[in-house]
Amino acid sequence: MTALDARPDSQTALRFPQGFRWGTATAAYQIEGAAAEDGRTPSVWDTFSRIPGTVRNGDTGDIAADHYHRLDEDIALLRRLGVTDYRFSVAWPRVVPTGRGPVNTKGLDFYRRLVDGLLEAGIRPVATLYHWDLPQELEDAGGWPARETAYRFAEYAGVMAEALGDRVATWTTLNEPWCAAFLGYGNGVHAPGRTDALASLRAAHHLNLAHGLAARVLRGALPASAEVSLTLNLHAVRALSESPEDRDAARRIDAVGNRIFLDPVFHGRLPEDLVRDTAGITDWSFVEDGDLATTAAPIDSLGINYYSPAVVAAGSSESPSPWAGAERHVRFEPAPGPRTAMDWPVDADGLYELLVRLRDELPGVPLVVTENGAAYDDYADPSGNVKDPERVAYLHAHLAAVHRALADGADVRGYFLWSLLDNFEWAYGYSKRFGIVHVDFATQRRTLKDSARWYADVIARGGLGG
């Protein structure tokens, strides 16, 4: 499949290429529940969510959306939507409870049932190996700042490839390693809640190393037809003004927010300006000979998660900061326009900008929008309907941006809406709803929102309007 051959023939009919992948995405800790069942052991999020004040209302993922027990019901929802693909993550502590050593057969059986159910429904499984639920035992041994964690991750990747390699078409090593490194170890708003700039940089490198090691393991274990991928939450960074100071602020954020992953993975190098920016924190001696050749293991596609842009200016950020090396030089400014319930600006142009940037910087690398969506204050009305016109408008604008990028030559292969279900939204607990399916967390009742019906229509039409 290639990019669109021509722009749409009307202002309202935006058709996507034949074979474009339409999906939704979820993450294990956010939906599965069953946190202590069938051999699963605690992850860093189980531990973190029990620390007073870390998660709104003291919420945990113990039950979440109870997906573990409602698997058939949720696969039926996916079939009803008509998605071609479903992107889920595997809970590492459910499969390898201590992060190393014996495999938990009951944990693997759950993912076998999930994958087999998807295939029976005609839905292509897309598995993410890591969406932030590091086994607590590995964190106790040093976590991602420790090199050994990368090797344990590669072993876990091998376990999953052996178990499901004949049935899963796409394997994503990591989801948003920036969040795992810098929110988990930099400013501590995510698990494990550490605030150490050096630890965050070490974690970023070891996540890159883990990706490269796992990619090699997957290549050796999977059929030639299987795809190996990585998903990054790349930042659409804009300088507040054209002043040299503001432009340098944008450069710094691009270095520690984007190129800290893009350069090692696609070019086998560290960004030179990042090394200079962080010289007061580290000399990067933890990067060993051969590491950058490993991080640059070839992959078949790059996933992009996008929600909103960032506007930056010269200044300083609050401490502790996730922006290692930039915190004393950069401040974040509010972007104009409407905002979601997360107080994130709505700006679909940022997604277009990222896609065309990657078109230019990574020629020949297929792109997939692996997360895009919005939280709003949804509720079921007295008749049981959940009307969410703001979400429909958000999704329409962002799909139109993807279409525009396709028309301008970006090789975008698919779009995965975040998220299928309302879920545990990390530090926000259950207070923010991203799903196109409403979940009443007291009863676990699922209700299609208007956005779900709208998305099903988009999929059936193969695009917007017309």
The per-residue pLDDT for range 228-271, each reduced to its tens digit, is: 999 999 999 999 999 999 999 999 999 999 999 999 999 999 99
Rounded average pLDDT over 385-405: 98
Neighbours of 341 (CB within 10 A): 18
Catalytic residue among 32, 227, 353, 371: 371
Neighbours of 408 (CB within 10 A): 14
| CA–CA distance, 129 with 214 (Å, rounded to integer) | 10
Q: Higher model confidence: residue 11 or residue 34? A: 34
Please give the mean pLDDT across all residues of the chain. 96
* Structure confidence by residue, pLDDT tens digits, 402-433: 999 999 999 999 999 999 999 999 999 999 99
Rounded average pLDDT over 46-52: 98
* Structure confidence by residue, pLDDT tens digits, 107-152: 999 999 999 999 999 999 999 999 999 999 999 999 999 999 999 9
* The predicted structure's pLDDT at residue 10: 40
| CA–CA distance, 178 with 170 (Å, rounded to integer) | 21
DSSP 339: B
Q: What is the DSSP string of 421-452?
A: B----GGGTTS----SEEEETTTTEEEE-HHH
Burial classification of residue 380, based on how many CB atoms lie within 10 Å of its CB (0-12 exposed, 13-18 middle, 19 or more buried): middle
Structure tokens at 36: 């202590």
Structure tokens at 226: 């299987």
| CA–CA distance, 404 with 410 (Å, rounded to integer) | 9
Write down the pTM of the prediction: 0.97
* The predicted structure's pLDDT at residue 9: 37
Confidence class for position 204, pLDDT limits 50, 70, 90: very high
* The predicted structure's pLDDT at residue 12: 67
* Structure confidence by residue, pLDDT tens digits, 164-194: 999 999 999 999 999 999 999 999 999 999 9
Rounded average pLDDT over 36-48: 98
Catalytic residue among 176, 227, 353, 390: 176
Residue 77's SS3 state is helix
Rounded average pLDDT over 35-39: 98
- 176 catalytic residue (yes or no): yes
Confidence class for position 8, pLDDT limits 50, 70, 90: very low
* Structure confidence by residue, pLDDT tens digits, 291-332: 999 999 999 999 999 999 999 999 999 899 999 999 999 999
Q: What is the DSSP string of 122-137?
A: T-EEEEEEESS--BHH
Please provide residue 432's backbone torsions phi and psi, each rounded to the nearest 5 degrees: -125, 135
Q: Give the DSSP H/E element, type plus range, for residue 30.
A: helix 28-31
Choose among 30, 81, 84: nearest CA to 60.
30
* The predicted structure's pLDDT at residue 195: 98
Is the separation of the CB atoms in 64 and 424 below 8 Å?
A: yes
* The predicted structure's pLDDT at residue 380: 94
* The predicted structure's pLDDT at residue 6: 30
Strands 463-464 and 170-175: unpaired
* The predicted structure's pLDDT at residue 2: 36
Is the separation of the CB atoms in 451 and 437 below 8 Å?
A: no
Task: Kindly tell me if the per-residue pLDDT of 5 is higher than 80.
Answer: no
Task: Kindly tell me if the per-residue pLDDT of 288 is higher than 50.
Answer: yes
Q: What is the DSSP string of 132-182?
A: S--BHHHHHTT-TTSTHHHHHHHHHHHHHHHHHTTT-SEEEEEE-HHIIII
Q: Tokens 């996008």 label which residue?
A: 306
Confidence class for position 378, pLDDT limits 50, 70, 90: very high
* The predicted structure's pLDDT at residue 466: 67
Q: Give the DSSP H/E element, type plus range, for residue 216.
A: helix 197-221
Choose among 191, 199, 187: nearest CA to 317.
187
- Calculate the CA 303 to chain-centre distance: 8
* The predicted structure's pLDDT at residue 4: 39
- 371 catalytic residue (yes or no): yes
